[in-house]
A and B are shown apart, each in its own frame.
Chain A
Amino acid sequence: MQVKAKPIPEIVPGARHPMEKYLRTDRIPHIWCSGCGLGTVLGNFLYALDELGWDPDEVAVVSGIGCTGRIAGYLKLDTYHTTHGRAIPFATGLKLANPTLHVAVISGDGDLFAIGGNHLIHAARRNVDLTVVCVNNFNYGMTGGQVGPTTPLEGRTTTTPFGNFEHPFNLVHLAASAGASYVARWTTLDGRRLQKGLVEAMAHTGFTFVEVISPCPTNYGRRNKLGEGLDELRYYAEHAVIRHGADPKEAEIVPGKRFIVGKFVEVDKPTYHEMYAAKVAEMGGKK
């Protein structure tokens, strides 16, 4: 059932975001559409950062291109808005050049899994100490709503006008298979759970991956009659099932069916940098 969206409340004069210290407030308002989930992801990331208590000067955020790619530019940190799909190799260089940094990559499903898919699997395989947050909205929003690597079968997009006939990726299964040492999935409805997931992922040493299912009412939602952003959140409430430790293989997302969220993988294994440093120490060098 489609519910009529409530009018947007007036901006309260003088109101400030509680996490403003991490924001480039001179860049607000952001570019995202009404009903988009990216504001929620950004907000949760800020609260997670605050909970971690890290020195913000030691945190760097790297993004690729697309709607999600714009998150980096609103953060008052060392932020890098790179090329399409290349956030992960850029972040790999940044982290290895300065291992004291905490480096997070925040980007979209098309950026990280289509054009950047090769980089993601190799960074996961190497266990580079990065946190990758993938905001999955099932299409390319920035460019007008084209089919992406996560678009469900039969999904309508501007480049699948007769319905999608490409099988989509199951991102948590892919990340887990490639070797990620922490894998979780939440939706933008799961505010606190998402925040906790981000804290866990960033605090975990190694390649960590958090998928965030997020509405795109302007493009994917509209073409697939999913309603407003709020309706998509209602859909998550009715279909998402929390099952920690579930087999990532079972985490496919099929429209109209229940899908699994939660923490799928949490293992400790040595990172690229730790093993590199150990080899250097063996040889009596310094690093």
Chain B
Amino acid sequence: MPPKATLSGIHFMNGDEAIAEGAIAAGCRFFAAYPITPQSEIAERLAWRLPRVGGTFIQMEDEIAAMAAVVGGAWGGQKAMTATSGPGFALMMENLGLAIMTETPCVVVDVQRGAPSTGLPTAVGQGDMMQARWGSHGHYEIIALVPSSPQEAFDLTVRAFALSERFRVPVLVMTDEVVGHMYERVEIPDEVPVAPRRRPRVPPEEFIPYQPDPDLVPPMACAGEGYRVHVTGLTHDERGYPDMSDGAHDRLVRRLAEKVLRCRHEITFYEEVGLDDAEIAIVSYGISARVAHGAIARAREAGIKAGMFRLITAWPFPDERVRALADQVKGIVVVELNLGQMSREVERAIQGKVPLVGVFHAGGRIHTPDEVLAGIEEAARCK
């Protein structure tokens, strides 16, 4: 009997390693990547682990190739993943679009660092959140998860694979350098459910490759299964054949968006801390939420009832809940390591109902609780 792939038990590991283990537990058996800081621990661990569990690891010549190989690996029948950081994430955008258009389930991890450009290779940032949303060309919906601890990095990597199979869409794990390099307790359960791929339910002669099920997601026939499917990044009809008409294009692009949006309740997760009686709500995510969490108690000691709304899913954004939050609190504080990205979504959702204070830093270090507290106090002063 081959050794058990999932590393069940209690471990002390960093976020990057937890992502690698999450991938293996979720059934990922194909990983292609290109070296980049602060992602390297993911690739190095999978180079060591995947060959032992019957999987394939390959270091490609660049991130363009890594993403292309992942899309190919998924059509070869495997659960496939790549991992990178900002500069590589930019190079992946082209084939991320291919994955969206061809409805290829796969997982892309971005361990965010200080940017733009080469920026701060070894230090933290959260500046890729909008690249995650709109980085590839065209209009599309994407799923992006934002872990704030190594445990959550494991859990959300597992969830990323499940969501990618469920919706046939690439799922992004948007972590950051501090979560990636932070060592904490990570508990890996005895059994981790492996999400099945949605397979054709009819023989090849009856199969229409892009005819969606009622939930708008079509079953997927991989290479070598006898279905002889044509897969193209061109606008295509239900047979998968190119169709250059505006009608076919509008129909396809709308379905690709709608299949995600209509199920956002299954996708969009968040955590609320002390919001029941809160006057000020912090909205944050990833490592920034960890720091912000520490400021809540101090704000309450100072007489300001603060609470936190932590994004676990960044995209699709929890519009409805954030809108409702604006009816509940007197002010909102957004804490993130960029100069205001997710805060734009918060602004859009709250429609000016309450003041919004941004506690922003371009990256290179995490916030201090004092900075977050100052933001809370400022929001409390706005009436």
Contacts and interface: CB of A to CB of B under 8 A. Distances in A.
- A and B bound? yes
A283 B69 contact: no
Nearest to A76: B228
Contact of A93 (B73, B94, B225): B73
Contacts of A285: 2, 51-54
Contact of B230 (A72, A86, A90): A72
Contact of A81 (B30, B227, B230): B230
Interface residues of B, number: 47
B166 to A, nearest CB: 20
A16 interface: no
Interface stretch (A5-13, A56-64, A227-235, A254-262): A56-64
Contacts of A24: 230, 241
A73 B224 contact: no
Contacts of B227: 78
B80 interface: yes
Interface stretch (B59-67, B167-175, B304-312): B59-67
Contacts of B364: none
Nearest to B62: A118
Nearest to B60: A89
B99 to A, nearest CB: 10
Interface string B62-99: 10111011111111111010000000000000110110
B135 interface: no
Interface residues of A, number: 43
B137 to A, nearest CB: 11
Nearest to B29: A97
A274 to B, nearest CB: 13
A122 B75 CA distance: 21
A287 interface: yes
A98 B70 CA distance: 13
Interface in A97-132: 97-98, 100-101, 118-119, 122
B229 interface: yes
B32 interface: yes
Contacts of A272: 58
B56 interface: yes
A101 B76 contact: yes
10 contacts: A57-B224, A78-B223, A80-B231, A82-B95, A90-B95, A94-B223, A97-B29, A101-B224, A118-B65, A287-B54
